[in-house]
Chain A
Amino acid sequence: MSVNSQDVENNSKSMTSYLSPVVREIQPSGIRRFFDLVSGNKDIITLGVGEPDFITPWHVREACVYSLERGFTSYTSNAGMPELREAIAEYLYNSYDLKYDPKDEMIVTVGGSEAIDLALRALIEPGDEVLVPVPCYISYSPITSIGGGVPVEVETFAKDSFKLKAEHLQARITPKSKILILNYPSNPTGGIMTYEDWLPIAKVVEENDLIVIADEIYSELTYDHKHVSFASIPGMKDRTLLVNGFSKAFAMTGWRMGYVCGHPDLIYAMLKIHQYTVMCAPVMGQVAALEALKNGLREKDHMVESYNQRRRLIVQGLRDIGLSCHDPQGAFYAFPSIQSTGLSSEEFSQRLLMEAKVAAVPGNAFGGGGEGFLRCSYATSVSQLNEALHRMGQFVHKLKQG
């Protein structure tokens, strides 16, 4: 029987009725929409990339290759290789003063994304509200919905350097509130939280009996202040699921290596989902992650220094162009306001792409509060950044001339 393309198309259309209503309702991400615009455009300088421009340090790649040569190709225990979990525990203790037992308080996951998904699926009962400070990483709200929860946005503002404020959090709490997702240092704003910033948040969390999913994937990328883990705030460890991974600090995005730490009861529940879905994280990635933790801290420091230099360059450059930009203290994003141009985020980004050949992600892709802003990643070379700033300067000048 032959099948022509028309049949395939008709067939695929009819199949949508089988989909779950939740999945049917979910919109593709704003980043994805913008990606479709960008692909096919030539000679673009991109500030749209949410990952390091470094390649995974050589010794990490080499450790992985060598392990394959030696035949490391089997399953590992569900929670991850014991020696990797021990190394993670040691690293968290040395870096953030956090004590986790590698035996029953930790799972090595397929990226931080799986860890967040596990946490939400283990915790959400249908209708539970999940508080999400915005603008935020694009996945939190959709995966909350997929898990049967209701995402509730808590706005943060440029005037507060995009820090989460206790009064704004408190205002969105209802009897159905159960989970708070935190992402500091923040993608897309580059905002961070200090110890003093966390204290009033911890109070709200405690008073309202919330569980916190702290996505601290950018924890190594802070500049003038050292990262303070939410789990390290007194009283918060047991109600926090700490999510972290190797993608950003060690330039290992494609390896999909993450981990989650927390109270044994929660970890045990999440491990059940993990073992029935992915079984374990890929062994070669785990070997690489172990090498990164053992011997990669110097390279990491070098990369952080390099991001810091470019951060100064892009913030200064954006301000020179006439776009106001708060001082991002973490991750590798600048989040300038484009409100002075009178254009919406979408329109500004599209015209910047078409007229100046610079790709940056419109702020509204990151949820409420992102409108009027632009996410500019500075994980790119100094010469590319300089050229992008030059082009943006000409574009903004032309806009303001009318």
Chain B
Amino acid sequence: MRQISELKLKVLDLLKEDARRDPNLLATLLGATPEEIAEAIAELEEDNVIVKYATVVNSSKLDDEKVTALIEVQITPERGRGFETIAERIYLFPQVMSVYLMSGAYDLLVEVEGRNLKEVASFVSDKLSTLESVLSTKTHFILKKYKQDGIIFEDPEEDRRLLISP
């Protein structure tokens, strides 16, 4: 893995807080030129360090709230390729939001999103469980999201300071 510069790390920190910050603002905050910032961002994108600029949505505020499930999957690893082939087979499904290889009691943690409970259930029973190397699945539905990607959805920390103080 390549050594990443301090400037790039700081740019990443600031963009993780708010991806919409423009290079001029980042340049002012970091005491760099806009050109240096633009170059750093371009390289981070090119090297696939910045994979995508996404929006964190609190879907409970929407009418078309989706159902999300976390599924523990036990699988038989494949000779020579381990878990790679089956992980790829699973993550290609558009319903699958994330896939992690885990240590512990199961092998893969799969996050699945669907329009309703039935849709997720049928994905698990028809698609996931029927894959040849899948030994078992255990599905946990998410009832409420309090925090995601470091962002607290409800009750953001309020500023309790007095408006003026010494």
Contact = CB atoms under 8 A, between A and B. Distances in A.
Interface of A: 29, 31, 34-35, 38-39, 44, 46, 48-51, 53, 55, 137-139, 187, 305, 309-310, 312-313, 316-317, 359, 361, 382-383, 386
Contact of A49 (B21, B157, B163): B163
A29 B165 CA distance: 11
Interface in B136-166: 157, 159, 161-166
A49 B29 contact: no
B30 A309 contact: yes
Given A53-B159, A55-B157, A48 B31 contact: no
Contacts of B28: 312-313, 316-317
A138 B30 CA distance: 32
Nearest to B30: A309
A19 B166 CA distance: 25
Given A309-B29, A312-B30, A312-B31, A38 B163 contact: yes
- Which has the most chain B C-beta neighbours within 10 Å: A50, A137, A138? A50
A34 B164 contact: yes
A51 B162 CA distance: 10
A48 B162 CA distance: 9
Contacts of A53: 159, 161
A359 B29 contact: no
Given A49-B162, A51-B161, A309-B29, 5 more contacts: A312-B29, A313-B29, A317-B28, A382-B21, A386-B25
Interface of B: 10, 14, 18, 21, 25, 28-31, 157, 159, 161-166
B126 to A, nearest CB: 44
30 contacts: A31-B164, A31-B165, A35-B162, A35-B163, A35-B164, A39-B163, A46-B163, A48-B163, A48-B165, A49-B161, A49-B162, A49-B164, A51-B165, A53-B161, A139-B166, A187-B166, A305-B10, A309-B29, A309-B30, A312-B28, A312-B31, A316-B28, A317-B28, A359-B164, A361-B164, A382-B18, A382-B21, A382-B25, A383-B18, A386-B25
A261 to B, nearest CB: 23
A305 B29 CA distance: 10
Contacts of B161: 49, 51, 53
Please name the 6 residue pairs, one residue from A and one from B, whose CB atoms are nearest each other, closest first: A48-B164, A309-B29, A35-B164, A38-B163, A46-B163, A50-B165
B28 to A, nearest CB: 5
Contacts of A49: 161-165
Contacts of A51: 161, 165
Given A51-B161, A55-B157, A31 B30 contact: no
Contacts of B163: 35, 38-39, 44, 46, 48-49, 359
A31 B157 contact: no
A382 B28 CA distance: 11
- Most B C-beta atoms less than 10 A away, residue of A29, A49, A51, A55: A49
A382 B30 CA distance: 12
A29 B14 CA distance: 38
Nearest to A224: B31
A138 B166 contact: yes
